[in-house]
């Protein structure tokens, strides 16, 4: 069972938020707390991340099954990047568990880029003498430094990421599995206007799998749209979910 952080009253409608690669439930704390006025927000650490169990596999069927274990009724589901792909597979495999689906800045396609350079950078950090997160960030990519450092346990001198498995499974993470059928429920593909993760060329395959999908972009935001434009992201979620 995944480690989860919850916010709000359990009697409210449930909202599940699935984070992206190298992320954690903590990344969503501010938005989750603000949304907890209307929803019971459940933020899991995905497998091989945070305080959740480590496994030898990291594919979207497994990630979707992990999320399904947290749901016992139709639920609002939001997923960003890797979490968005997991949420899409969840909706395609278990449509009865989804009320509405929001996919943040990702498409159900295979991308050509890899994210292993961040694994190399994290491995290269000598954690033995690190007393503060800022010390470990000197050699990390400035664009994602603060984000990656949230997965550093300074006290234990370790990353809370299963770097070996994430590296081995990277082709599956940047890919997307072949699935039959479609999710007919309301779906919003919410993207950063400055991001190239969801292009018009992908809309055909999106519509095949999610025929009721709608599209929106947040001006001034890139791939990390929820961190770059948190209030606008929150407003878009509220408008769609209600």
By annotation, the residues acting in catalysis are 81, 164, 223
* Closest to 234 measured CA to CA, from 223, 215, 218: 218
Q: Let me know how many helices (H) and strands (E) the chain has, helices first.
A: 11, 9
DSSP string for 124-148: HS-GGG--SHHHHTTTS-TTTHHHH
Residue written as token pair 């979910």: 241
Per DSSP, helices labelled H in the chain are 29-35, 60-68, 82-93, 116-124, 133-136, 145-149, 163-168, 170-174, 203-209, 225-228, 230-241
Torsion angle defined by CA atoms of residues 54, 150, 227 and 196, in that order, rounded to the nearest 10 degrees: -60
How far is the C-alpha of 178 from the C-alpha of 133, rounded, in Å? Answer: 40
User: Which residues, 6 or more positions from 155, have their beta carbon under 8 angstroms from its beta carbon?
Assistant: none
């Amino acid at each position: 069972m995944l480690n989860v952080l919850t916010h709000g009253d359990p009697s409210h409608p449930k909202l599940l938020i699935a984070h992206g690669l190298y992320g954690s439930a903590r990344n969503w704390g501010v938005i989750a707390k603000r949304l907890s006025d209307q929803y019971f927000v459940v933020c899991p650490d995905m497998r091989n991340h945070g305080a959740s169990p480590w496994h030898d596999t990291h594919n979207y069927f497994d990630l979707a099954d992990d999320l399904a274990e947290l749901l016992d009724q139709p639920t609002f589901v939001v997923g960003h990047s890797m979490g968005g792909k997991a949420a899409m597979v969840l909706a395609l495999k278990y449509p009865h568990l989804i009320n509405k689906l929001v996919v943040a800045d990702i498409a159900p396609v295979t991308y050509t880029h890899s994210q292993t350079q961040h694994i190399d950078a994290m491995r290269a950090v000598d954690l033995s003498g690190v007393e503060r997160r800022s010390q470990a960030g000197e050699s990390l990519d400035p664009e994602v430094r603060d984000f990656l450092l949230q997965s550093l346990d300074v006290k234990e001198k370790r990353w809370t990421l299963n770097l070996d498995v994430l590296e081995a499974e990277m082709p599956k993470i940047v890919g997307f599995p072949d699935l039959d059928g479609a999710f007919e429920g309301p779906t919003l593909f919410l993207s950063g206007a400055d991001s190239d993760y969801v292009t018009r060329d992908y809309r055909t395959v999106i519509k095949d799998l999610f025929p009721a999908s709608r599209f929106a972009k947040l001006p001034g935001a890139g791939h990390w749209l929820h961190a770059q434009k948190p209030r606008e992201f929150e407003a878009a979620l509220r408008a769609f979910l209600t």
